[in-house]
Structure 1
Amino acid sequence: MEQNTVTVQDLIDNTNIEVYYGQQYMSKRVISETEISRPGLELTGYFDYYPYARVQLFGQTETSYARAMTADNRYHVLQKMCTEKTPAFVFSRGIQPSIEMRRAADKYQIPILGSSLTTTRVSNIITQYLEKVLSPRQSIHGVLVDVYGLGVLIKGDSGIGKSETALELIKNGHRLVADDRVDVFQQNEHTLVGEAPEILKNMMEVRGIGIIDVMNLFGASAVRTSMEISLIMNLKNWSPNEHYERIGTDSQSEQIFDVIVPSMTIPVKVGRNLANIIEVAAMDYRAKKMGYDAAARFEANLTGLIEKNSKSDATK
């Protein structure tokens, strides 16, 4: 799989990080790793495992240690931190880089960035952006809709009614994320995020009508740019020979990247209101997440009734 990369200029354009020095180098410097380095050990002269390809973040601790060094020693260490693949140096809390840092960075054409925010906030901002743009992506044929705050991915064969179902959901007050093609990436070990390709953003194809602009027709509240995928709904043509879940005790799931996502199979048949079914499925999923399981309660009631009848028969 080809490795994704972004430039330091992309990072600046999409975050509130500022440029201190080296504006002319930003388009040349490439970021390929989502992790950020806090170069504490490197300042002591230990470079055996130096992650040179990561953004190097200097907070209060690193800066205080560097200030205690002699100017010559500081310049020597900072030069060793500058490599052809080092993307940028970033300073938090409004800290200004030393003269030695500026000399070393300029010599090796590495931009110096900064922010007035705390080190933790700066780290989170950069990491979240890099995880979004550098994570592996998968294009899935389907429709992603925000239903009661849950990202519901509707899948099924072409022409089965995915877009029409999503359109009904939008008319009911829910929000479209992506139609026809959903770009999915793994945000962390538990979270998948879906969004629309740039060319399809806010657009939907309705057979017989063509392409419609959902935001233009229904307003800005009818769309959103991205959404965590919480539930997958597989639409399948109804068949009398197929077994469909009727109680809800058999759990289904699908794996996308490293994340297991709960799923359901909904038979499509004339007269069934799929939008209503998906709304109820979303509400039922939320109830289960909150600890209420209707299927489990039904089984408990059934078990209790069987035991009660067994005792009644034994006393006869």
Structure 2
Amino acid sequence: MDNNSNEPIVLGTLRKEKSSKPIFVFVVLALIIGTTFALPYIQSYVNDPNTFLGALYYKYFKTPEPNYNPIIPNEEDLHILNEETTIYYRTILLSNITLDNKTISYNLKVRTSSLDLNDGNYYLEIYGSAKNLMERIKLTGNLTTENNYQSFTFNNFNFNKNINYYGKIIELKDENYEELILNSDESGLASITCIDSKNKFEYIFENHLLKYINHYYEYKDISQIDIYLEEFQKYSQKSALINNLKSDSAKTEENDQGFLFTAKIDLSVMNKTDLGMADNIYYYNLDKPAKIINYDMKVQGFKCN
């Protein structure tokens, strides 16, 4: 072989490095687009004190509003029941809790706008010192941002002042209520009767859905005539209103001891609003499930069968 050949010898190949700029530009654009679309969601998390980001934001950057605790505890946690505790559930705030013998008192309000609890299924659960469920109270009222003072007295439960009680707010769904077996008559109707010291309610159902309410209210105290007359007038007006919606459905009659109010409410003709009883927690609208009514009335101290 001739080593003096004039043919060029290839010593190597010079490769042009690929630019990383397109990848960098793509990453930057992806971040910008992602942030733009995610910003409303990030902002909502930051503005919600229930979230981790929100808790940090309110703790280190935002000044709390007066009379408002921005550090909202986890809704699943139990909170000691006393005057210093505020229990939060979604927009509901329950505070200034006092326990005295058979009675619990508290304030209820909402953070924004208003909320009608009367037709809802919200409850305050009460736990003992061993964190065992003791009682439930149905939360009621048409709430606003102003405190609504409420109290509830138990029939067969006493608070022991020497131990701590705990609580949390829950909302029950239809599937959370125990199924109820009702015995129907030949017409397919069944009933539940609930009684307290003055009232008797008979709820009549078809296929476990409410159709009628029979209400009996007996007033026996005539010792204070002014109070008696005021109460008698109130129920006489109620009878007139019901009869205006459906004739011969109600009456208020005096007797030797006081008076007796009786009403047969056909819910296919009238509802709570028509009756001026939107705030009455013992009246229900058409097709309310039997198992919910039975549970609610027992929770509120009635004996039902």
Same fold (TM over 0.5): no
Q: Normalization by structure 1: what TM-score? A: 0.21
Higher helix share: 1
Task: Point out the structure with max Rg over C-alpha.
Answer: 2
